[in-house]
Structure 1
């Protein structure tokens, strides 16, 4: 049984990342509190997320994008395996397109193709629609001949990644070679996050507000459903897992909680809490200097578990 917390380059975040956190606390967090969680408010939120990521984490030029209608899109090319990427944003706000900055960098750094899933979004589609689409995408990759698949995801995509790995394990099916999770959402009741917020306010959104967004996906489901509320039995061994979270975000608590669950089942987990970083800081390289080094660590982890040493760092 191994549970490792890896040291990060500094005990403090860069001045730019700390300044970004302060700015988010007086702009993003108040805005997130007033946009309605329905109808036009959902549309507005989707536009804000799409435009923000396009500016703060644009796609790398020259990386090939290939759309697969009804499933998602390929980013880049390569050999030796594939990364299946699951975007986050509360099951309702983002898409494969909004995350091209992150997926293009992962493709270049790993030398692998990345397939980003366009799963159905809440509130139009509720649980288990997103999880079912992720499972379908994984099985589609297997049918394409991919035998070594790393599943990566951020925020709600992290929850979807763990659900997929657990379902495959419990069915006795071949699972991912590894998991890479950025700021994973694990406790959908947000209780872990609420406890964290009593110690340090998240600069981007409150735990109460985040729970209201997540409930648009889960409200019709049994909250005790094992696909929503994870429990790990002695046979629920996940593949080697890397978890990265920001020290300034409330979901650092979920990252630590998930690492504990993985450890309790005998799994291998590397946990990195990057000081003073916000939620999914890896997606904001224009704003946050630590985004590049964090993604480089993730790329190295991917290649290690696919049996290759290739690694290229990009800004």
Structure 2
């Protein structure tokens, strides 16, 4: 795991931080390594989506088991729940393909489908492109006939930040919120100030070097102000908020971010449960071959999801 992520993120003072060209050149190999470490269960089917809507494009993939739904993608008229999955990795790498295994392990027991969003990444695209794509994808699901009560939002790392941005957008535009939300190691502060403070306090993450990651994130956030309302999303008591489960690793520098998201939800009157896994690093749930805690944490997330299924 260390050998997979740290070379790209860089170790401050020792390994050069990847620039835009190196990042784009290394992205395919990194994504392939992550996919290999997060195997996709058998019988998993995917259907690519690329549709034009008035505000742009929606890209991603439907994912479901071939033995369910008669081999077809989820149908809103069935009344069944779906997961809207938002992958992470710093707004710079990964895709629905790298996260197929994780999404499948979340959905297969309940037999529900998922739509994984393929949002635009830096450095080619800048903040708030990913957030705009997330909002567009959710609205497209509503336009297909899915109700908010049928949708469970899930995401990891930067995907957790996208989920918060989505809640804010839904509130401002009067759209229904999702029924529930599951976040793995969610990002709260894209300036990485919280994570860098964690690292200076002595936290040594097996996955992320905070100082290097902060510089990499600027390839996406660019000149965005730290006080931009879509950077550190502020949830307020007048919002309708989904019940939420948050999981994070006790060894990760983004632990403070996860706790900040949890506190933000509670302060706004929402219901949030947070679980820390002491020996683990960032988004350990992706890697069941590397730690049994990944399987246990994913099972706990599935138990939470089961309570909100239609």
Q: Same fold (TM over 0.5)?
A: yes
Tell me which residue corresponds to 2:59.
71
Question: In 1, Cα distance between the equivalents of 2:111 and 2:167?
Answer: 23
- Give 2:9's match in structure 1, choosing from 32, 54, 67: 32
> For structure 2, which runs of at least 5 residues remain unmatched after alignment?
51-57, 70-77
- Measured after TM superposition, the shift of residue 194 of structure 1 is 1.7
The corresponding residue for 1:126 is 126
**Structure 1 residue 44: deviation in Å?**
4.1
Of the structure 1 ranges 278-287 and 49-58, higher mean CA displacement relative to structure 2 is found in 49-58
Partner of 1:242: 245
What TM-score comes out, normalization by structure 1 length? 0.85
Asked if 1:55 corresponds to 2:36, the answer is yes
Out of 205, 213, 218, the position equivalent to 1:215 is: 218
Aligned runs of 1:105-124 on 2, under 5 Å?
Answer: 105-124=105-124
Q: Compare 52-61 and 89-98 and name the one that shifted more.
A: 52-61
Q: Structure 1 305/143 Cα, relative in aligned 2: closer, same or farther at 3 Å?
A: same
SS at match of 2:108: helix
Per the alignment, do residues 280 and 196 of structure 1 end up closer, same or farther by CA in structure 2, a change over 3 Å counting? same
CA distance in 1, matches of 2:4, 2:156: 22
Tell me, in whole angstroms, the C-alpha distance in 2 between the residues paired with 1:149 and 1:232.
Answer: 20
* Residue 161 of structure 1: aligned partner: 163
Instruction: Tell me whether 71-80 or 58-67 shows the greater mean CA deviation.
Output: 71-80
Structure 1: gaps spanning 5 or more residues: 1-19, 308-315
Structure 1 match to 2:74: none
Query: Which residue in 2 is equivalent to 1:11?
Result: none
Q: Which residue does 1:6 correspond to in 2?
A: none
User: Does the residue aligned with 1:292 lie in a helix, a strand or coil?
Assistant: helix
Summarize the Cα distance change of 1:268–1:278 in structure 2 as closer, same or farther, 3 Å threshold. Answer: same
Is 1:86 the counterpart of 2:74 in the alignment? no
CA deviations 1:253-282 (Å, max 9, x no partner) are 111111111111111000001111111111
Write out per-residue CA displacement over residues 180-230 of structure 1, whole angstroms, 9 at most, x where no aligned residue.
Answer: 100001111212112221231112222111111211111132321111122
- 1:195-274 equivalences under 5 Å are 195-197=197-199, 198-274=201-277
Q: Which residue of 2 aligns with 1:193?
A: 195
Deviation at 1:122, TM superposition (A): 0.6
The higher-RCO structure (CA 8 Å, 6+ apart) is 1
- Mapped to 1, the partners of 2:141 and 2:296 lie a distance apart of 29
* Partners of 1:126 and 1:220 within 8 A in 2: no
Report the 3-state secondary structure (helix = DSSP H, G, I; strand = E; otherwise coil) of the residue aligned with 1:88: coil
Q: 1:263 touches 1:269 (CA, 8 Å); kept in 2?
A: yes
SS of the equivalent of 2:245 reads strand
- Residue by residue over 1:291-314, the C-alpha shift from the partner in whole angstroms, topping out at 9 and shown as x without a partner, is 11211111121121225xxxxxxx
**For 1:76, what is the secondary structure of its paired residue?**
strand
